[in-house]
A and B are shown apart, each in its own frame.
Chain A
Amino acid sequence: MRKNAATERRDYIVSVRRSQVALAFFLFIFLLIGHSWPAAAELFRPETFNLSNGMQVVVLTNRRAPVVTQMVWYKVGAADDPWGTSGLAHFLEHMMFRGSKAVPPGAFAHRIAENGGTSNAFTSWDYTAYHQTIARDRLELVMKMEADRMANLQLDQARLLPERDVILEERRSRVDNSPAAILSEQMYAALFRNSRYGRPIIGWAHEMQALSLKNVSAFYHGWYAPNNAILIVAGDIDAQELKPLAEKYYGGIAKRSIPVRLRPTEPKNKSGLQRRVILYSADVRQPNLRHMYLAPSPRSVDPLDICAIQVLTEILGGGATSRLHRKLVLEKSVAIGAAAYYEGNFLGETVLNFSLTPRGDTEITQRMMALDGALTEELEDLIKNGVTEEEVRLVRERLIASTAFARDDLESAARIIGEALATGDTIEDIASWPQRIAAVTAERVNKMARSILVEENSVVGQLMPSQSEGKP
């Protein structure tokens, strides 16, 4: 079994620097627990408390190694970039490594490395997170520096200009050099016409080029504050040990009023609307078919419905025994790989994705049509006849059993919890996830399938080879 089609599962996370190992492992865990992030909580029994300035603190204890991971999550992301300044949240993430009053430019990463630690950061549409992993006895060093840059970031033109070139290079690496990434970006733009998720996290190049000191400074002072942040410390420490340190380093930072996070919803579409995005490129050797369906925001529907979507995703495209694999790959032989994934932790309306790789060597337009037809047929069959209780039972058990693995990896657990908290879940929501999964019925899965898998709510994307650049 080769993991094939799901290579772009987390393509929206954008990071201050590339970290192959961390990302690969992130993906691995993600596959393992099938988007069921929140499962870790109950098993870890996270402790949580608030500082007087409103900063939430979460502690995950595991004493296997004398190591801690600190993460600070800000409840702000690319969807909060003001119009005309796409890429701003991510640019600020980069600038956070360019120094403060107490830490000269470049010294942040150096000090951590000199103390045997690692550090990085990442930006999504709904959150921005900074993290370090380091020996337990160096925790105060990273807490001190992280707290310092929450309040005392130094921004000037000399620091800004080279970093703006860096993010433009990052865009070229991630997007402009990759037809698959360009297609993905355009599909998001087509699916989200009103929601801010239609703009890429990294930004549109022409707007990135114009990002100014004023933009970055206003964003920083508007959103970076303790009452808009979550501190998560995982590893060889407990709440009693952490509390005085959290008070000492973060407790003195003043709270401020935080803007409202706008997540406008999509308009209802007239039935019969079809949206297709096709990219022809001479660089494409391997075509790909994608379907994206608008899915409800976890914030706007019954939490059980979100779990039902997670179960639906697994039944359809969760692995070698999933429906799409059995029907499209094994029985009909129209695909060589088929995967489904649901972006469950968005603040606004979100996406249910399907990614399929066509099989065979006949004329490509015909093959893509056949594959598209076969996928649509499978989805229609599911809507008409529904999933079975047995399918639901097996997936429920699998998802719940796999939660034990999340305890094995603290850094991933901290990410799971941070992502959930930053997008509006509570610790209790996270803890009760297995119970909610256990309560999912076939009826609820079918209800969600029928409301989501509707053509007018979808965008179809095709990555197509061409003889010459830009020509079909």
Chain B
Amino acid sequence: MYMKFWPRVRGVTFGLICGVGVLAASSGMAAVKIERVTSAKGIEAWLVHDGSVPVISMSFEFRGGSALDPIGKEGLSEMVSGLLDEGAGDLDSQSFQKLLEDESIYLSFDTDRDIFSGRLRILSKKQDRAFDLLRLALTKPRFDPEPVGRIREQIETRIRRNAASPQHIADRSLWEAVYPNHPYGRPSEGTPESLATLTVDDLHGFVHSRFTRDRLIVGIAGDIDAETLKPLLDKAFGDLPAQGGTIDLPEVEPKIIGISVIDRNIPQTVVRFVAPGIPRRDPDFFAALLVSYILGGDGLTSRLAETVREKNGLAYSIGAGLATLDKSALISGAFATENSRAGRALDLTRAEWARMGHEGPTAAELAAAKTYLLGSYPLRFTTTNDIAQQLMGIQHEKLDIDYANTRQEKINRVTLTDATRVARRLFDPSQLSIIAVGRPIGITESSVPPSPRKAPSEPRSK
């Protein structure tokens, strides 16, 4: 929860799934065979059957997340995600939790701006009981007064804790500032005021309207075969309503806000920055993935890490990457530096940003980025939990079941010319929105700076 503005981990969006790498092509992902399973009632799931460990992991989502919470009811998705395992059917909270614990069933729910998701992790011999409990949670949650009050207070507790965290202050302010008139700008977890308005009817209404089969995506991996899975899919999801209708959420461009400083009496300034990114379906997406990895990819090897951390010792952690939402696209980054050196760190960051925009990457950098993005692909397929998450993520982006292969080709096909063109489009310092929390020296508030060079607009493939 720490780096909410960081590239999300929902797999494909940030190239965590890359193609069958040149390194892995021979031995590699052929081992991971994805099956499309359709149950009698028409529930579709993608499955990787692997019986090497008696464990099953399932990741599922319903499209539509906290951004769909009604105005004034912010936190509704969050409340529901905290309450689904707090009693369902004839089982009150303690009975439900005791069954989960005694049967070693790990069931959890979560929400982000675009999805409401769940994870189930079980021993394969417990599959019947686990899918029964999941069905109850999704169709007959009780929302008893005690857990409703308690979970509400837990979320309020988290809001208060976050209010003291410079990272969260920076995140919250940035979301609000760049999406001022869009649901993405509202707080996912709600506010004490909005949480207070939520009624049990709201919670039931959410369950009935949002958990529908047309919005369902399922990824599953582990010790279960397709035929065994089918009736379980029907058990868990078969009785959900068929249609939830289209999701009414407009596309939005992030607003550019310049630099904003939030005063806090802390020794280290926390800096977050974003700029307009690139949509997942844009033909230049993979070029963008490569150049953003070169500039700010996780670890010690990016240009930002080399300049700000390795050469100048100005930050412990610095990075930037694509952050793609369903209805918007960002490139987002962060660092933290002792107050007196914060201005220098920001200057260096902006200079690297501009240099990448002007010059693009070198051929050697591009080649190295390709081998990383391709070769690290199998690393994402080592646990059933990871595999299930990847299968869900690929489907969320409406990609093909052979995505792994097409992805490899697309990454390989990116040329230095492509990369340079896309770098120019992405890395324009005048497009940066920056929030600094602390008492930074050398960072001053400013509104949108005059744009020396408007980022050339590329046609978006929608």
Contact = CB atoms under 8 A, between A and B. Distances in A.
Interface in A169-218: 169-170, 172-173, 176-179
A349 to B, nearest CB: 30
Given A4-B158, A469-B265, A62 B52 contact: yes
A268 interface: no
A118 interface: yes
Contact of A21 (B9, B98, B265, B312): B9
Interface in B92-115: 93-94, 97-98, 100-102, 104, 106
Given A65-B382, A67-B382, A394-B102, A337 B314 contact: no
Interface residues of B, number: 85
Nearest to A20: B3
A20 B6 contact: yes
B376 A118 contact: yes
B157 A162 contact: no
Given A118-B376, A178-B165, A326 B385 contact: no
Contact of A330 (B146, B299, B379): B146
A18 B316 contact: yes
A166 B336 contact: no
Given A169-B268, A409-B382, A2 B155 contact: yes
B210 interface: no
B51 to A, nearest CB: 10
A145 to B, nearest CB: 14
Interface stretch (A283-291, A366-374, A445-453): A283-291
B203 to A, nearest CB: 15
Given A326-B94, A409-B383, A115 B371 contact: yes
Contact of B164 (A21, A283, A410): A283
Contacts of A284: 164
Contacts, number: 222
A97 interface: yes
A165 interface: yes
Contact of B157 (A167, A336, A410): A336
A359 B152 CA distance: 11
A116 B385 contact: no
A169 B339 CA distance: 10
Interface string A398-439: 100110110111110000000000000000000000000000
B381 A110 contact: no
Given A1-B82, A326-B94, A286 B161 contact: yes
Nearest to B377: A116
Nearest to A171: B316
A65 B55 contact: no
B27 A66 contact: yes
A298 interface: no
Given A19-B298, A136-B27, A177-B266, A117 B376 contact: yes
A32 interface: yes
B247 interface: no
Nearest to B18: A116
A116 B371 contact: yes
Interface string B148-181: 0011011101101101111000000000000000
Contacts of B123: 401, 404-405
Nearest to A116: B375
Contact of A337 (B154, B298, B313): B154
A117 B377 CA distance: 9
Given A113-B299, A166-B316, A286-B164, 6 more contacts: A1-B97, A18-B316, A32-B121, A64-B382, A115-B372, A408-B53
Interface of B: 2-3, 6, 9, 21, 23-24, 27-28, 31-32, 50, 52-55, 57, 82, 85-86, 93-94, 97-98, 100-102, 104, 106, 121, 123, 146, 150-151, 153-155, 157-158, 160-161, 163-166, 222, 264-268, 270, 297-301, 306, 309-317, 336-338, 368, 371-379, 381-385
Interface of A: 1-2, 4, 17-21, 32, 62-67, 97, 105-106, 109-110, 113-119, 133-138, 161-170, 172-173, 176-179, 235, 282-286, 319-321, 326, 329-330, 336-337, 357, 359, 394, 397-398, 401-402, 404-405, 407-411, 469
21 contacts: A62-B52, A109-B300, A113-B297, A113-B299, A113-B301, A114-B368, A116-B23, A136-B27, A137-B27, A165-B312, A166-B315, A177-B267, A177-B336, A286-B160, A319-B97, A321-B94, A404-B53, A408-B383, A408-B384, A408-B385, A410-B383
